[in-house]
Structures are given as structure tokens and as C-alpha cells.
Chain A
Amino acid sequence: MDNSLRLGVFLCDCGNTMSKTIDFSAIKAKLERLDDIEYVAISHDLCLIKAQEAMQKDIRDRGINRVVVAACSPELHEHTFMNVLQRAGVNPHLLSMANIREQCFWTHPHKEKAAEKAMVQIVLAINRARLLEPVEKAEIPVNQDVLIVGGGIVGTEAAIELSHLNLKTTLIEKEAALGGKLNLFASLYPLQITPEEVLASKLKQVTESPNIDVLTSAELIDVRGQAGNFVARIKRGDEEFVRNFGAVILATGYDAQFASQLYGFETSTSIVTLSQLEEMLKSPAEIKKIPRNVGFITDVSDEHSRISTLSALRNALGVKEKFGSEVCILCKNLKVDGAGLEKLYHDCRNRGVIFLKFDKPPKISEEDGEIHIQVEDVLMPGEQMALSCDLLVVEEMVIPPSDSETLRSILDIGLDPQGFYQDNNIHLYPTFSNREGIFFAGNCHADLDLIRALTEASNVALSAYRLLAQGRVTIEAENVMIDPSKCRFCLTCIRACPHNAIREVQVDHEKRVAQIVDLACQGCGICTAVCPAKAIRFKDWSDDQILAELELVGAYL
């Protein structure tokens, strides 16, 4: 067949709803007079299979090589129509859409103006269609092994999930044993199971799985490469070795730190942190004097942390159970939005724990091992209440793990303003990093209770599975492409790419240029816009196509 343009325009009046305000056959007649138009069809329901089959047949029978659909928003059905093109034997990227429903008829009540605008939008879509380029698919092999950094409960759970999915993992942990924070917990309320039992059952699964290779006292030194083909250097004692992975999961958890500057006092024998209390609860026999009155202070930092709330509540119950003391929890806010947390709160109340809500931080003084607290309950403004206890438990700030900055620079990923890992887009892709093939799970990137964190472990395992399960990935080859003859290797794009998807390649023995890694590219087009040599072409969103949509500005409306 010759290479001439043969455009097919498919108009959809959305179940006759739009044809009430506009004469579709008039539009059709106008369009038919334009150059290169092979076919114009009016449909009422292009979103239905039957209409799509007809469309597919029209494309095939009439040798249409560019398709314009004027219908609803591409956000809804762009993929649908791309599939139609695919089935009709036309490259799916040769589709151009005019959004005449959401962004025209539904929003512009003035009939004539809406009709006029629809026409402009269709003509623009046609002009854009002329400039479209095919983007071919390609398959590339990926390494199926997964590296999990952090052998706490979340990392361990992710490894177990992946082993069930038959993917091999290397689980590296900087401490000498797996388990992380769970080793320090005295209880797991509201769960009835103990931390020891949870860990024992998980570790058994890990040991029994042929798919999990555990490296304790090990750390990640360096990672090169891209999704599907990461090359990691791992250090264990004096030994350093290299392993290849297709994906990396970070589950490095959090650290807890007592912020004395926030409280204005230091810890002592009568003032302990939640972590110290957990130690006491784990071995109550070692305690010289069981406290009669225990006070908790939480959320002084105003972070409304789930971890802190959960920790205060379950340890208050722990104190009741192990020491039988009177317990009072002073808080600014409690975050009880997790599964079972509301019940945990009620359990505390039912066991006699008193809650006191403050707005201004309480005044604390210590005298002969006795703690005096002055606090104003928000329900009784203006009234200073005086309490005393022989053990005061203070919350700790949840801070990023000490190695997060190191891992950030090794993996070239982002940190949020607090220093936790930065999600790609917190709403859309909560477990994705800014880089393809690198995922986050658990408290290293979000404030989660245990159940949520374990859910994330499963989610992240599935995300890795989706990427690696087939051992090869279908990608869109060279949708964004750097012309090696125009590239000046100025590094602008490499520095600007938010997904770290551009690498340098050697063209011949002397010339090096930047090159897009198709699997890692997420199609934002930032590189295309920043290139000072205009050497980067984004086929789906080329300058020509964008400029084509600027034509006729001023000519119609």
C-alpha cells in the first residue's frame, strides 16, 4: 500500500444525546470535504463492543491508516479505541481524539457555540492525526529476582508473598536477625497473638521457602542499572558480592527518638519512653518497684502519628495487665482510624484507663521520683488539674531510619520533607518510587499500623510480580527518543528526568550520548521540553502535534 494518509473519522453522539443539540450529518458533510478524509461515520454508542467491531471492520476494509474519534473524553476511552486500532491492524498510537462531550456539549450550554467549538476540536484532532507516528511494541527480558532491603516484618512478609508467587528474593537485613521492631514489642494489641508467635510463624515460612535467601548483617553498597536489570553490590562482613535483580523493594521501617527539646526534660528512672516501657513489660520480673500510677503523654509533637497512638494504647493495656497500675493517658489527639484501633481504645477505657485531652502541653516536674503533672483538660477550660504518678511514659518521634539518606543516594530516589521515602504520587501509586522497579512498603514511606503495613507488603509483592512474572516485559519502544546525531551530551535531560530513566550510551569509540531507557520511562516529556539542542522527540506528544492544536486560534470562535 502507498504511504498516503487515509483518515477515518468516527463521530459518536453518545446515545443520541448530543445529536439533539447538533446536526451530526452537517458535521459529517463538512468533514468529508477536507483533504485525506477516507471515511466519516456517525455512531451512537462507540463504547459498545458491537460498534467497535463495526469500526474495526471499517478501518480494515477501507485501508484507514489514521483514526480520529470525536466522542467522550480520552480519559475514558482512549485505551478502548487504541485496542480497536490494534485489532484492525493499525498501530494504536495512530489515534487522535476530540473530546466533544465533557469538554464541549456538557459544559457549553449555548448550542451554536458548542457546535462551533466541536467542529474546531474535530478539525484540530484531524490535523493532529496527520502528524501521528506509530510506536512499536518490543519485548525485553527482565531478571526475575527481587531484592528486599529491610528484614523487619514488612520485608519478611513481602518475601514470603513473592515466594508463593514463585519469585526468588534476596532479603537483606543490617541487624544480625530478622524481625526488626517486632523484636522489641511487648504485645500486638488489638491482635491477640504475641509478637513472638507472629515472628516464629513468619520465620518458619522463610526458612522453609527455597525461594528466599536471607542475608543478615548485610548492607547495600551500590545499585546500577534500571528496572528489570539492577546490579546490586552487597556487603556482608568483609565480603562484598554482586547480584542481579529485576526489582527492589525498600522496607527499612522507621526509628523512634525521644525529642527532649519538645518536652523540655530528659528521661530518667521515673520518666521513660514508650520503647523503654516495652522493654519493662517484656520482662516485668526484673523491675524493682512496680509503679502504682502510670501516666502517658502522647501527640505533644502534633504529628498525629498512628504509630504513637497505637503504641500508647497497647502499652497502656500492657501496663494494666502486667502491673495492674492506675493509668492515665494525656493526649492532644489519638489517631484511631486503623482496623481494631477504636476497639482498642474502648478496651482501654473499659479497663479503667483515663483519657485526658489537652491543647497546651502539660507542665511536668519531678520530685523524689514522683512526677507532678499540671494540665488543662480541653473540656474544662481555665481549670488546671494536678496529677501525679510514679512512672511517666513519653512518646517518641517517628523518624526516618538512619540509613535512608544513604539508600536514597544509592538508589537515586526521592525523600519527602521529613526524610522518609517519597512516593511517586501518594494518591495514585502509593507503593511506587519515582523510579520504575523500585518500590516502598511499610513505615519507611508512610505512617502505618501493622495491619496496613502488612497489606502493603502484599501489594508491593504483586507490583513486583506484575513487572517480573513473565521474565520479559512488553514496552513501547522509542516513544521518547533522543536523536544521537543531535545530542550534545550536555546532561541536561539526565539531570532533569524525574524517573531517572535516561542513561548515557557509547555510540562509537568516541561519542557518548544520552539514551532513554524505555522500561523506566514514564512518559512525562520533561526531557523533551528541556533539551537545549531539541534532540529529543516524544512521538505521542511531539512539538508538531502540540503546535498543530494551536492552529486556528482566533480563526473560529
Chain B
Amino acid sequence: MIVAERKPLEAIKQMIAEYKKILVVGCGTCVTVCWAGGEKEVAVLSSQLRLASRKDGNELVTSEATIERQCERELVEGLKDEVKRVEAVLSLGCGAGVQTIAEIFQEIPVYPALNTKFVGMPQGEGVWVETCAACGDCFLDKTGGICPIVRCAKGLLNGPCGGTNNGKCEVDPEKDCAWTLIYQRLKAQGRLDLMRKYYPRRNFQAVTRPGKIEALQA
């Protein structure tokens, strides 16, 4: 899932400072699941903005809508009438959502309220961790299902650097050293030969920016 995080209110306030009427749009998919941009967060941000604007002596008017997926043209088009009534749109979608809304309603400014962080998974309540770098050339078959590209701070392919610190990463003692984890898993599976193999540098152009996939028509 795509994991995002709300921008600080101050940054959002500055973006929309000149408007009196805005539409706050949530997205019902990934960012709802990671508590960043669902209907609840739309209501929270709207309330916060109204409070902040009142504090500054203004009365910002907010309307709220949450659609199933902000990255789909047809679903975004459903916002047509609501967009007409406001001066700007504030999106609580990932970067794809913001761009889809901006693409469809080209006449109106669209602002991001979230920072799209990474592809990840939940690790306990309210905690998400990055687990996939979307590198376009999956390496997990060689590492016991633990991705060193994203979970090793340096993205090393041939084993740990010298900074392994009691199985933790030198960069952040809270985080596990990915190569220690890989070693332990492969050892438990009796597949350490995989770790002894040499892996040449990876293809950094596996996804040519901007990435594009064309599947055969269904």
C-alpha cells in the first residue's frame, strides 16, 4: 500500500492562504488505510483549517468529499459540481491523486495536503514501515523475501556494510540491519548459498522515468 503522511498544518495554511472557499478531498484507498487521507482525516483537517483561519480573524469555508480512488479519472470527475463552488482544491490523496484532480480540473489550483512517503505495510497500530522501493526489478527471490534495496539504508546487494550494530543499522539504532535479517532467514531456510553469490549492480533504469506499463487489452 502507498503510505502517506499529513503535511504540517502551517505548510497547508500557507498554500491556501489566499482562498476563502476550498474543497478538501479525501481518497478512500491506500491513504484511508494508513490513516492519512480518509473521510476522518478530511474532517479533521477541515476543522483544523477553520479553527486556524478563525484565529487569524477570517472565516474559511470548507466543503468535504472523499472519493473511492483519486487516481481514477471517472471517479474524480464525480467532483465536478463541488469543484465549481470553490476557489481551490486541497487533496489528501497520494501524488497520483493530486495530479489526477489537477489534470481533470485544470481551471482550478489543486494543492497537496499529504507527503507521499513510500510503499509499505503496517507494523503495529498506527505504525507503517517502508518495505518496497518500487525499483522495477524485484530482487526478493535472492534474499529470503527481505528487500535490501529499501530496508538497507545503503541499498547494498552483496551483504552488510561495516556498520551493523548488534543487528541494527548504524544510521538508526531503531531499525534492523536488513542484511542481518536476510542472513538469519536464509540460514534458517538452509539457503545461505544465495547470500554467497555475487550480484552485479542492479538496473537503475528498470523503470524509465516516468514509468509506464502497457498490458495487453483484457
Closest-by-CB residue of B relative to A534 is: B39
Interchain nearest-CB distance for B61 vs A (Å):
19
B136 to chain A: closest CB distance in Å? 27
A492 touching B29, Cβ below 8 Å: no
Contacts of B40 in A (CB 8 A): 531-534
Any A CB within 8 A of the CB of B157: no
| In the complex, per-residue mask of B14-42: 1 if CB is within 8 Å of any chain A CB, else 0 | 00000000000000110011010011110
- In the bound assembly, the distance between CA atoms of A495 and B39 in angstroms comes to 19
B43 at the A interface (CB under 8 A): yes
Residue from the set B28, B41, B43, B66 with the largest chain A CB neighbour count within 10 Å? B28
> Which one of A488, A495, A496 lies within 8 Å of B32 (CB-CB)?
A488
A488 touches B125 (CB 8 A): no
Q: How far is the CA of A492 from the CA of B32 in the complex (A)?
A: 10
Question: B60-93, CB under 8 A of A: which get 1 and which 0?
Answer: 0000001000000000000000000000000000
B33 with A532: CB separation less than 8 A: yes
| Total number of B residues with any Cβ neighbor in A under 8 Å | 12
Q: Does the CB pair A532–B125 fall under 8 Å? A: no
Are A488 and B43 within 8 A (Cβ)?
A: no
Partner of A490, one of B32, B43, B66: B32
Q: Which residues in B have their C-beta under 8 angstroms from that of A488?
A: 28-29, 32-33, 38
How near does chain A come to B97, taking the closest CB pair, in angstroms? 15
How far does the alpha carbon of A535 sit from the alpha carbon of B68 in the complex, in Å? 13
Encoded as 1 (CB less than 8 Å from any B CB) or 0, chain A from 475 to 504 comes to 000000000001010101001100000000
Q: Which residues of A contact B43 (CB under 8 A)?
A: 534
Beta-carbon contact of B41 and A532 below 8 Å: yes
Q: Which residues of B contact A532 (CB under 8 A)?
A: 32-33, 35, 38-41
Which residues of the partner chain B approach A531 to less than 8 Å between Cβ atoms?
40
A495 interface neighbour in B28, B66, B125, Cβ under 8 Å: B125
Q: How far is the CA of A401 from the CA of B28 in the complex (A)?
A: 46
Q: What residues on A are CB-neighbors of B29 within 8 Å?
A: 488
Give chain B nearest CB distance to A91 CB in angstroms: 28
**B38 touching A533 by the CB < 8 A rule?**
yes
CA distance A495 to B123 in the complex (A): 12
Q: How far is the CA of A488 from the CA of B38 in the complex (A)?
A: 10
Whole-angstrom distance between the Cβ of A248 and the nearest chain B Cβ? 26
Please give the distance in Å from A527's CB to the nearest CB on chain B: 12
Once the chains bind, are B125 and A533 in contact (CB under 8 Å)? no
**Dominant secondary structure at the A interface:** loop
Interface centre among B29, B35, B38, B41 (most CB of A within 10 A): B38
Whether A496 lies near B33 (C-beta < 8 A) is no
Cβ contact within 8 Å between B125 and A490: no
Establish whether residues A533 and B35, one from each chain, have CB atoms under 8 Å apart when the complex forms.
Answer: no
- Closest chain A residue to B125, Cβ basis: A495
Assembly CA distance A490 to B128 (angstroms)? 13
Distance, CA A534 to CA B35, complexed state (A): 11
* Neighbouring B residues of A492 by C-beta, 8 Å: 33, 35, 125
Min CB gap A498→B, angstroms: 13
The reply to whether B38 and A496 form a contact with Cβ atoms under 8 Å apart is no
Q: With the chains together, A486 CA to B33 CA distance in Å?
A: 12
**Shortest CB–CB separation between residue B127 and chain A, in angstroms?**
12
- Name A504-557 residues within 8 Å CB distance of B: 531-535
Contacts of A534 in B (CB 8 A): 38-40, 43
CB B62 to nearest CB in A, in angstroms, measures 16
Point out which of A490, A495, A496, A531 has the most chain B C-beta atoms below 10 A from its C-beta: A490
With a CB–CB cut-off of 8 A, which chain B residues contact A486?
28, 39
Chain A residues within 8 Å of B32, by CB: 488, 490, 532-533
Complex: how many Å from CA A495 to CA B33?
A: 13
CB distance from B71 to the nearest CB of A (A): 15
Alpha-carbon gap, A495 to B35, bound state (A):
14
Considering residues A486, A531, A533, which has the most beta carbons from chain B within 10 angstroms of its beta carbon?
Answer: A533
Q: How many Å from the CB of A486 to the closest CB on chain B?
A: 8
How far is A348 from B28 in the complex, measured between Cα atoms in Å? 72
- Tell me the smallest distance from the CB of B54 to a CB of chain A, in Å: 13
Q: Which residues of B contact A490 (CB under 8 A)?
A: 32-33
Q: Which residue of A lies closest to B39 (CB)?
A: A534
User: Nearest Cβ distance between residue A428 and chain B, in whole angstroms?
Assistant: 26
Known contacts A488-B28, A488-B32, A490-B33; A496/B125 CB under 8 A:
yes
Min CB gap A491→B, angstroms: 8
CA distance A490 to B29 in the complex (A): 9
Give A532 Cβ to nearest chain B Cβ, in Å: 4
Q: How far is the CB of A387 from chain B (nearest CB, A)?
A: 50
Shortest distance between the CB of A502 and any CB in chain B (Å): 14
A492 to B41, CA, bound (A): 14
Quote the shortest CB–CB distance from A311 to chain B (angstroms): 41
- Apart from A496-B125, A532-B32, what are 4 other A-B pairs with CB-CB below 8 Å? A488-B28, A492-B35, A492-B125, A532-B35
Residue pairs across A and B with Cβ atoms less than 8 A apart, 19 shown, are A486-B39, A488-B28, A488-B29, A488-B32, A488-B33, A488-B38, A490-B33, A492-B33, A496-B125, A531-B40, A532-B33, A532-B39, A532-B40, A533-B28, A533-B38, A533-B39, A533-B66, A534-B43, A535-B39
Q: Which residues of B contact A (CB under 8 A)?
A: 28-29, 32-33, 35, 38-41, 43, 66, 125
* Nearest 10 pairs of A and B residues by beta carbon: A532-B38, A490-B33, A534-B39, A533-B38, A532-B40, A532-B35, A488-B32, A533-B32, A532-B32, A534-B40
